[in-house]
Amino acid sequence: MKKIILVLGMFVFCALLSCGCNPKRTVLSDKGGIWAVYDRECRKCHKVSGKGCLIGRFIFKIPNFTNKKWQDNASDSRLIIAVANGKRKMPAYKGKLTDEEIVDLVKVCVRSFYPPAEK
Ligand code: HEC
């Protein structure tokens, strides 16, 4: 019985660990401008890929910014309000970031994940 718990524990630990690192690109701030803010504030949850880490997607319902259907259903105003006021597990950024930054994060960063950038 103890062994099963140990194996399960290791599995969860590894899964959590893989949540925190991205083997490919690890920074976006080299794109300049608003991306430095995304890197600092948003990347830890939404990731460089915009897909959100696996566990985050299942447990906290982090949206996949690269999904066309999601993008089509999400209006600028809804997303801007979500970033400003927060949404469940998502922290609020009003007061922490300027209004211009919040708008740019949605219009420039979030929107840039679809269509996906060519490699
Ligand atoms: C602590 C983790 C975390 C951080 C940091 C974070 N988010 Fe989120 N974000 C979430 C979660 C969780 C959701 C899903 C909210 C829900 O629908 O319950 C979300 C949802 C969103 C959405 C979709 C809202 C909607 O209405 O569908 C946008 C856009 C977004 N985040 C942008 C950002 C931006 C921009 C930043 C940086 C300023 C950021 N997030 C930082 C966790 C985070």
Q: Does residue 69 lie within any of the structural domains?
A: yes
Query: Does 68 have pLDDT greater than 90?
Result: yes
DSSP single-letter state for residue 92: P
Q: Does residue 63 lie within any of the structural domains?
A: yes
pLDDT value, residue 22: 46
Strand partners, 36: none
Residue 11 pLDDT grade (very low, low, confident, very high; cuts 50, 70, 90): low
User: Measuring from atom 6 of ligand 1, which residue has the nearest CA?
Assistant: 42
Q: Does residue 80 lie within any of the structural domains?
A: yes
User: Measuring from atom 36 of ligand 1, which residue has the nearest CA?
Assistant: 42
Q: Torsion angle of alpha carbons 63, 69, 73, 78, nearest 10°?
A: 30
35, 87, 102, 112: which to mutate for ligand 1, most atoms within 8 A of CB? 87
Q: Does residue 102 lie within any of the structural domains?
A: yes
Give me the amino acid identity at 25. Answer: R
Residue 29 pLDDT grade (very low, low, confident, very high; cuts 50, 70, 90): confident
Q: Does residue 117 lie within any of the structural domains?
A: no
Q: Does residue 10 lie within any of the structural domains?
A: yes
Pocket of ligand 1 from Cβ distances under 6 Å: 41-42, 44-46, 60-63, 74, 78-79, 82-83, 87-91, 93, 105-106, 110
Q: How far apart are CA 94 and CA 100, in angstroms?
A: 11
Q: What range defines the domain where residue 28 resides?
A: 2-112
What is the CATH number for 85?
1.10.760.10
The pTM of the full predicted model, rounded to 2 decimals, is 0.82
Q: How far apart are CA 64 and CA 99, in angstroms?
A: 24
Query: Does 115 have pLDDT greater than 90?
Result: no
pLDDT value, residue 24: 58
Give me the amino acid identity at 100. Answer: E
How far is the centre of ligand 1, averaged over its atoms, from the C-alpha of 100 (Å)?
17
pLDDT value, residue 31: 85
- Number of domains present in the structure of the chain: 1
Q: Does residue 118 lie within any of the structural domains?
A: no
